[in-house]
Amino acid sequence: MDLQAVLEQTIPLTKEVGQLIKKEGHNFDRKNIEKKGFNDLVSYVDKQAEEQLVKGLSEILPEAGFITEEGTAEEQGEEYKWIIDPLDGTTNFLHTLPVFAVSIGLLRGEELVMGVVYEVNKDECFYAREGGKAYCNGSEIQISPVQEMSESLLATGFPYAHFEQMEDYLAILTEFMKGSHGLRRMGSAAVDLAYVACGRFEGFYEYGLKAWDVAGGAFIVQQAGGKVTDFKGGKNFLFGGQMLASNGSVHSEMQQVIQNNWSLLK
């Protein structure tokens, strides 16, 4: 498998889909919003974008299966699987808040080997492949050199469902607010992770995540020199619903705060 060749074909496809999303956003009618569940919104734009991604990625790597948010493809794939979120930050998009991205990860067996995150409105394409470095628009990126959590800017995502853990979440939020330069909630896990990879954030944590939210960004963080785990410090961050990503230096501090306050970990 020539991952570099696959990556070089995937990047323009990702940008093409991103521009489709941006174009549709200019004239989007909120009457077209659909609900998949409580506070779980979708539109024809998500579906069209996913269909275009599936078609293009199938041509790039015909033997690969798919794990998709909108269920456009059901191919399993024996070795490779694309994990795609055609529009990460749908709620932002539907409210015309310009923070959303196309996110693509490539899984070989149980290991991520490629990631692409295209932040549509800033026209920033973050990407990496196995054995290579991480890049944004052709320039190499690296995680932040900050060593202490007290000097860090952190990111998270506010839960829009699964409110049974809200008290724990707020306790963690409080400690991070007091112990860092601040917290940001961008509304797109893919963007949060890309920003950890390029050093804008020192750390990111969230629960209730799906694989398509994080696959592309998590791999880019790793290739940029960062660390990605679940809340326990293990490797079950892709399908386990919990993620802690950082520049590595502040990882243990952040993990300790989470473990001290997350009742399910005690």
- Banded pLDDT at 89 (limits 50, 70, 90): very high
| Residue 49 token pair | 């974008």
State the Cα angle at 129 between 126 and 135, rounded to 5°.
30
Mean pLDDT of the chain: 90
Q: What is the pLDDT of residues 212-242, one digit of tens each?
A: 999 999 999 999 999 999 999 999 999 998 9
pLDDT reading at 108 higher than 70:
yes
pLDDT of the residue at 266: 62
| Amino acid residing at 35 | K
Encode burial over 68-78: b for 16+ CB neighbours within 10 A, e otherwise.
bbbebbeeebe
Q: Give the chain's domains with CATH numbers.
A: 3-141 (3.30.540.10), 149-265 (3.40.190.80)
Q: What is the pLDDT of residues 59-76, one digit of tens each?
A: 999 999 999 876 666 666
pLDDT reading at 79 higher than 80:
yes
pTM reported for the whole predicted model? 0.92
Distance CA(76)–CA(165), nearest Å, equals 33
Distance CA(5)–CA(20), nearest Å, equals 24
pLDDT of the residue at 35: 57
- Banded pLDDT at 40 (limits 50, 70, 90): very low
Question: Averaged over 135-152, what is the pLDDT?
Answer: 98
Q: At a CB cut-off of 8 Å and minimum separation 6, what does 219 contact?
A: 105, 112, 113, 114, 115, 128
Q: What is the pLDDT of residues 121-134, one digit of tens each?
A: 999 999 999 999 99
Distance CA(93)–CA(191), nearest Å, equals 13
pLDDT reading at 259 higher than 50:
yes
116 or 166, higher pLDDT? 116
| H or E stretch covering 36 | strand 34-37
Residue 162 has a CB neighbour count (10 Å cut-off) of 12
